[in-house]
Amino acid sequence: MSLVEHLDELRTRIIRSLIVLGVAWCVAWFVHDPLYVLLTRQAEIGLPPQIKANYSEAFRSITDAFMLKLKLSFYLGLVVALPYIILQIYGFIAPGLKQNEKKPLQIVGPLSVFLFALGCFFCWLIIPTTMNWFASIALESFEGTKIIQEPGTLVFFIVNMMFAFGIGFQLPLVVYFLAKIGLLPVDSLNKSWRHAVVVIFILAAVLTPSNDPISMLTMAIPLCILFVISVVAVKHTAKIESRKQDELVEGEV
């Protein structure tokens, strides 16, 4: 394909992605209300009675309610449309990849969706505990104060945390993919596992918007386990490929 044909294909895939995103956004507009209630209740579970009694929400402008609904529905639509968008990206770059690069991507793709969902699930479980930790700080340091915040603050806090956990849980796949295409040797993974643990904890501290120790540990510990699993998987597949190459050499001899 010529450069013009590549650009034409890219334009077509971008237009398709935008159409799917627009449709998902419109659908999400009508399911916004139950989603908002679900997320808000999950956050309020961890709030102690003293905080709930002095907690209220208030819009600063009459247009804020519309903007909040528009923004949250876009987030939801983006999550729904994201798998299709990723498929379009893969469809565009796949012809330029070698066979040894395509195979790891075909394995990483489905696992990426699973690990993203797993990260969101872990985050969902710790939301009440995280809210309780923040509330304890407010009660200890600022006893008797009232909390008045804009509607959607807690909801977007949860959404950002879930997104951060989902992205953080992609780290083992990045390690696996780089090792499979030869950019990250297995021997270096064995030698630098201590550095990897430090990087994981730093990454957890950066990605978690709350920066509380509970959220950081909840992300860092599973990531360390997944990192070890990814290293073991790379070692196992490397041994299998080495055996196949040895068998081919023996067969030729």
SS3 182: coil
134-158 mean pLDDT: 79
Mean pLDDT value across the chain: 78
How many residues are given for the chain? Answer: 253
- pLDDT digits 0-9 by tens, 60-84: 888 888 888 898 899 888 888 887 8
29-45 mean pLDDT: 85
pLDDT at 23: 93
Query: DSSP alpha helices (H): ranges in the chain?
Result: 3-30, 32-44, 49-53, 64-93, 99-141, 153-168, 171-180, 186-191, 193-207, 213-252
pTM: 0.71
Residue identified by tokens 């930790």 is 133
- pLDDT digits 0-9 by tens, 166-177: 887 887 777 777
- Burial label for 54, CB within 10 Å (0-12, 13-18, 19+), is middle
Token representation of residue 163: 């997104």
In angstroms, the CA 43 to CA 40 distance is: 5
Least Cα distance to 117 among 67, 83, 73 occurs for: 83
In the chain, the amino acid numbered 22 is: G
Strands 147-149 and 55-57 turn out to be parallel
Percent of the chain with pLDDT over 70: 81
DSSP state letter for 253: -
